[in-house]
Amino acid sequence: MMQRFRSRFRPWFIVWLTLMWILLMGELSWGNVFAGLALGILITVLLPLPPLPTGGISIDFWELSKFGIRWVGQLFTAAIQVSWLAIRPADPPKSGIFKVPMRLGSELELYFATCAYNLQPGGCVTDIDLANRIWTIHVLNAGSQQAIDKALHDVKELEASMIAIFEKRKAH
């Protein structure tokens, strides 16, 4: 019984939940701190989350920082491009659905890549085949072969970035 409690008791998670509770209440007081601690302990003991399947992932923080800077730049560029597609005086371009194989080693990496891709305007992951590591993506601007090639190239760049950040092997 005590072993099950120890596996469920995660101090940093309780601290995080306490901080979130204090922010949610909007006031730092002893009552909010104790209520946050009590709720954090109750949540972690009564509603345990399974451990994350990290599978020995290590993070290359230099690659992560390069990716973050590049991603923010692409975010602004994509937002401007999508805005232009919405307000330009021409008909909207054709959109497309494409299947893209992914070479990421773990589901956690695939999750991070999916989040990064879905947060960018202009496309989204509509389906993930976990067994075969295949994304089905929707591309907003698929009106020309050049636009399709660019969208698929962007996915491959994202994949290479995730491999560089989380895996020891280098993407090619």
Residue showing tokens 């993407």 = 171
Q: Residue 84's domain spans which residues?
A: 61-166
Same domain for 74 and 23, yes or no, is: no
Q: Are 141 and 95 in contact (CB under 8 A)?
A: yes
In tens, the pLDDT along 37-75 reads 999 999 888 887 777 666 667 889 999 999 999 999 999
Same domain for 128 and 103, yes or no, is: yes
Give pTM, 2 decimals. 0.72
Q: Is residue 68 part of a domain?
A: yes
Same domain for 107 and 155, yes or no, is: yes
CA distance 68 to 56: 22
Same domain for 69 and 141, yes or no, is: yes
Same domain for 29 and 68, yes or no, is: no
Q: Which amino acid is at 82?
A: V
Same domain for 83 and 148, yes or no, is: yes
Same domain for 97 and 150, yes or no, is: yes
Q: Are 42 and 8 in contact (CB under 8 A)?
A: no
pLDDT greater than 80 at residue 9: no
Q: Are 66 and 165 in contact (CB under 8 A)?
A: no
Same domain for 66 and 112, yes or no, is: yes
Domain count across the chain: 2
Cross-strand partners of 125? 137
Same domain for 37 and 103, yes or no, is: no
Same domain for 9 and 84, yes or no, is: no
In tens, the pLDDT along 105-143 reads 888 899 999 999 999 999 999 999 999 999 999 999 998
Q: Is residue 76 part of a domain?
A: yes
- Name the percent of the chain lying above pLDDT 70: 89
Same domain for 90 and 141, yes or no, is: yes
Same domain for 156 and 86, yes or no, is: yes
